[in-house]
Structure 1
Amino acid sequence: MIHHFLPLTMVEGPGKRSYLWVQGCSIRCQGCAVPWTWDQNKGKKKEIQALFAEIEKSKREHGIEGVTFLGGEPFDQARPLAKLAAMVKEIGLSVMTFTGYLYEDIISSSNPHHMELLQMTDLLVDGPFIKEKLDVSRPWVGSSNQR
């Protein structure tokens, strides 16, 4: 399930990128900036191939250099995102993934789909948003604990 696809941004990661906000989040950080992305039933279904076609079009028309997955929680949809990421990498684009999970927890979970998405990710921003550690001084993170 997706919340929103944007073909071109220069905010959600390095350089020109497309971004895919997924719908559904099992973490639900207090103070989250996008709580409307938590409920997985409020998103739109979109086929992986259709999303890939939009990304290819964005590469042709806007010269994007990568795709960013954020949400919601991308690792809650790790399997389809790993498939999409593999397709994206085949056409020479990078993959950036935001997650509220810690890298160490993803590794120790032994979830094969989490590992697939992690392996397809070139740049990972990890850690839950912590309202009391609000930090807007660094790009791409919301709280100082995020890496």
Structure 2
Amino acid sequence: MAKLELEQFEDGAPSRFTLGNIHSIETMGTVDGPGMRFVVFVQGCPMRCAYCHNPDTWPARGGTSVSVESIVAAFENNRQFYRNGGITVTGGEPLLQPEFVADLFEQMHETPHGRVHTCLDSCGYAFTPEHPDRFARLLDATDLVLLDIKHADAEGHRKLTGRDPARILAFGDELARRGIKVVIRHVVVPGYTDSKEECEALGRLIAPWRNVVGLEMLPYHTMGIVKYEQLGIPYSLEGVPAMDKARMPELRAAVLRGMKAGRAEG
């Protein structure tokens, strides 16, 4: 995937919109939503997932301030590549910057050359159910959400991410209430989330969300370890092997089995 140099976005021109704090931009994303995607990685994430392969996005500071106009212009320069795709904002965690992402998505829907498909890739943890209105404009302009569910069990979730899953589940409920299309993503880690029992429990957990249109089971890999070494951050999954991809079909079937059972019971 091609990466844009963020310096080209720093033109100093005033913006009509909220500025975004960006980590990087990829112009040829193929795993961040349907079709070819223009992918914006925001800076800052409240989660500390043990297997995160972008720990350099964790700090809220350290990114580059960019305008909505500059991102739209960069997209338009290569619009022909995204005919069957669109734009995805990931991270880091986009929900930490809801005003910026809302401005961006609204402009992508209103471009003179035609509406652009918008996709939000989120862990959901930055959602505040006590203040849902803060995210209303963003969600109104979102066509698809890639929602990462890290673990079906609350205690297992805390061990794997350092955070409680309550806000994430509340975000899932809000997406279901709004009827926004959701693809569930679940990283399968040996010894943590690779049992049929955990996967069936995941299926039961997401069963009430009738807006789920897809399921991506992502095998854990060790390619991100080098970043931890470069940043001097201890890697908590040291010694855990990459997930055996041959097991993925059976675990995916377990999730689907759990969903079916959960909906039958509900």
TM-score (norm 2): 0.47
Where 1:126 maps in the other structure, the secondary structure is strand
Q: In the aligned structure 2, how far is the partner of 1:142 from the partner of 1:79?
A: 33
Which of residues 138, 145, 148 is equivalent to 1:117?
Answer: 138
Q: Is the 8 A contact 1:12 1:140 kept in 2?
A: no
**Do 2:124 and 2:147's aligned partners in 1 also have CA atoms closer than 8 Å?**
yes
Question: Structure 1 unaligned runs (5+)?
Answer: none
Root-mean-square deviation (Å): 2.9
Deviates more, 1:67-76 or 1:49-58: 49-58
Q: Over alpha carbons, which structure has the higher Rg?
A: 2
* Structure 2 portions without partners, runs of 5+: 1-20, 152-159, 162-185, 190-214, 221-251, 256-266
Q: Percent identity?
A: 26
Bigger Cα displacement from structure 2, 40-49 vs 16-25: 40-49
What's the secondary structure of 1:20's corresponding residue?
Answer: strand
The TM-score, its normalising length taken from structure 1, stands at 0.80
Residue 3 of structure 1, aligned match among 11, 23, 32: 23
One-letter code aligned to 1:50: S
Report SS of the residue matched to 2:119.
strand
Equivalent residue, structure 1, for 2:78: 58
Asked whether the equivalents of residues 40 and 90 of structure 2 are also in contact (C-alpha less than 8 Å), the reply is yes
Letter in 1 for 2:74: E
* Correspondence 1:72 to 2:95: no
1:135 is matched with 188
Equivalence for 1:27: 47
Rounded to whole Å, the distance in 2 between the matches of 1:142 and 1:107 is: 30
1:83 aligns with one of 95, 103, 119: 103
Distance change (3 Å), C-alpha of 1:78 and 1:90: same
Residues 100 and 8 (structure 1), Cα distance of their counterparts in 2 relative to 1, 3 Å cut: same
Cα deviation, residue 36, structure 1: 0.9
AA aligned opposite 1:28? R
